[in-house]
Amino acid sequence: MKKLIAKTQEGEEYLHSKLFAFFASTNAQKIVDALNKNQYKLNDGEKWHVYDYDYTQDFYVNLRIFITKNGYIKIATLIP
């Protein structure tokens, strides 16, 4: 099932960044754990979070994030 991974403020997980938002088909929690562990593009008080898919997210998310066969995390543009 499609999930959304986005940057959010700790304690305000009901809000998320539209600029730093990606779709993930599989391994969403594993990707978020790796991003948080390495503090990828995070400021103080921010974290990466997994959200359930909502069709309205299609209007502002144009990137997908995935784990390659080699174990690397990659980001790619979605092609409509």
Dump pLDDT digits (tens) for 40-65: 999 999 999 999 999 999 999 999 99
Single pTM value for the model: 0.91
Share of the chain above pLDDT 70, in %: 99
Q: How many Å apart are CA 37 and CA 19, to the nearest integer?
A: 20
Amino acid at 79: I
For residue 37, give the H/E element and its range: helix 28-37
pLDDT of the residue at 80 = 67
Cα separation of 27 and 23, whole Å? Answer: 11
Coil/strand/helix, residue 67: strand
